[in-house]
Amino acid sequence: MKKENKIILVIIISALLISTSIFLGFYILKQQTTGKIIDNEYSKLSSKPSDNNLIGKHVVTKIIDGDTIVVEGENLRLLGMDADERGYPCYTIAKKRLEELILNKEVELEKDQTNKDQYERYLRYIFLNKENINLRLVEEGLAVARFYPEDIKYKNEIIDAETRARNNKLGCKWAGGEQTKPSEKIPDSIETSDSISSTNNEGSIDSIDKEDWKELTSENTGLDIVGVCNAGNHIDEGKIVEGKIVDTYRSKTNTIFLNFEKPYPNHCFVAVIFSSDIYKFPENPEDYYDGKIVRISGEIKEYEGKPEIILNNMGQVEVR
């Protein structure tokens, strides 16, 4: 009997041990699973939106200027348009209008191809009640159309909006005449007694002081020379264009615009230096070339109804 009792006792103890192990196993598994769920939920609540998640509905918490805002702590640049920087005539009115439209409101953010610009600002289209706010600012004459090469989702609509605003003289950009820097008076014409050139009936320019030009001449390049205000007659042609830069502008994307003969938007020709090529030119090209008489060479293109040449290097420019 004693031997049988011992056997029974061993069986009971073994059963208890097995039951305890099974119970502990289930308990630990449950705790681990619960912990993972809690950790995952905490992660979702505490993490900031990833680069590709700043789309959809978000609240606008601050307006920096007419094309830059803050959305829940993230800086965001409006795509497809460009409003005035601080110190330019339409800066305040564009900023206030954007505040009226979207400040402290929930908007829909839409991405194009580029997620962020070089300043780490998100690039988005903004919709409020299904209305494109980027487009509206251009329609109201408070901003101009401006595009990154790859971000053109609403390009046609925005360009058409700028054309209508300009033709109907709407908003600060177009109703008030020329866009100039504050306290800066620029003459309506540069046809003064020291003008260096005259234009013949063929649209070519005959320089009075031909000896002033050493590099960009017809003899050296084989290109005809035209006045800047006749450049529009030579779209898709390689030419040397001669004139005076009277207005310059550096955009938020670090693109330099050199406007000829009259200030923007009444200029008759523009030379453009993209940010990737700025290092090839003198420091601060917008200041260096401002007010100078120059010749530039290249293929004349048309952009938004204006002739332009893209400057890729210093060899395309000669200063009188």
Is 162 part of the annotated catalytic residue set? no
Is 121 part of the annotated catalytic residue set? yes
Q: Do 177 and 185 touch, CB atoms closer than 8 A?
A: no
The C-alpha angle with vertex 258 and arms to 256 and 262, in degrees rounded to 5, equals 145
> Which residues make beta-bridge pairs with 317?
296
Q: Single out the catalytic residue among 74, 77, 162, 295.
A: 77
Q: Single out the catalytic residue among 85, 99, 110, 157.
A: 85
Q: How far is CA 65 from CA 26, 166, 300, in A?
A: 59, 22, 33
Q: Is 73 left (phi over 0), alpha (psi -120 to 50) or beta?
A: left
Closest alpha carbon to 267 in 320, 303, 217 = 303
Tokens of 7: 């056997």
Is 85 part of the annotated catalytic residue set? yes
Closest alpha carbon to 317 in 246, 263, 240, 211 = 240
Q: Single out the catalytic residue among 74, 97, 108, 121.
A: 121
Catalytic residue list:
77, 85, 121
